[in-house]
Amino acid sequence: MPVPDALYPVSLALAGKRCVVVGGGEVAARKVTGLVEAGARVTVVAPSVCDEIRAAPVELIERPYQRGDLDLAWLAIAATDDPAANQQVHADGRDARVWVNAADDPEACTFTLPAVLRRGPVTVAVSTGGHSPALARWLREQIAAEIGPEIGRLAELLSEARSELKAAGRSTEGVDWRKALDSDMLELIRTGQTAQARERLQACLS
């Protein structure tokens, strides 16, 4: 059954896409960092910006937000300390069909931002639907304590194996990947025995 007010989780491909951050403080800087890491083409609109934003590879528009600043944007983040300004960004985004996140104001959001953990190509996102960002961050930290960089290398080995199977004309759908994942592959990678982990993977897939 549908869950009332449930959010639909997605991972957006933002490389080369115009994204607008309204605000120039520390909160805005954190949002800018995430967008830049995703390859977005970021524009920051604010009368003044912190040093972290000024050093970032972004377009700076150093003035208050104006209607029209969201033109051709894919998404926008309102991160000012002025609730009225954040609401205006939300309203303009709604009219222009631009997804908007307003920091610390779930009512002015058409999408929320999860707490994110990255390990190579592996991304773990934790969301509370805007109810408690602090809880989302805490959960991310708990997960980070359990998942080290070896999980990223494991993902790379599995990806290489999938490519090899496809090149050999084999389907990757009927393969017992769970057998490989339940083996000691991860421990081998963790202890620096990557070659042995690759051999174990091949044995599980043969």
Q: Each residue of 9-59: pLDDT tens digit?
A: 889 999 999 999 999 999 999 999 999 999 999 999 999 999 999 999 999
Q: Each residue of 85-94: pLDDT tens digit?
A: 999 999 999 9
Q: Which two tokens stand for residue 40?
A: 């977005």
pLDDT more than 90, % of the chain: 76
Give CA–CA dist 11/120, Å, rounded.
15
- Pairing mode of beta strands 41-45, 59-61: parallel
Say what the pLDDT of residue 4 is: 53
Q: Each residue of 151-183: pLDDT tens digit?
A: 999 999 999 999 999 998 988 888 889 999 999
Domain 18-113 in this protein, CATH class = alpha beta
If one counts every other C-beta atom within 10 angstroms of the C-beta of residue 170, the result is: 13
Instruction: Please report, for the chain, the start and end positions of each structural domain, with discontinuous segments joined by +.
Output: 18-113, 150-205
Q: Each residue of 97-146: pLDDT tens digit?
A: 999 999 877 778 899 888 999 999 999 999 988 788 899 999 999 999 99
Say what the pLDDT of residue 101 is: 94
Per the CB < 8 A criterion, the answer to whether 154 and 204 are in contact is: no
Say what the pLDDT of residue 184 is: 93
pLDDT at 1 over 70: no
Q: Which element (helix H / strand E) includes 138? A: helix 133-146
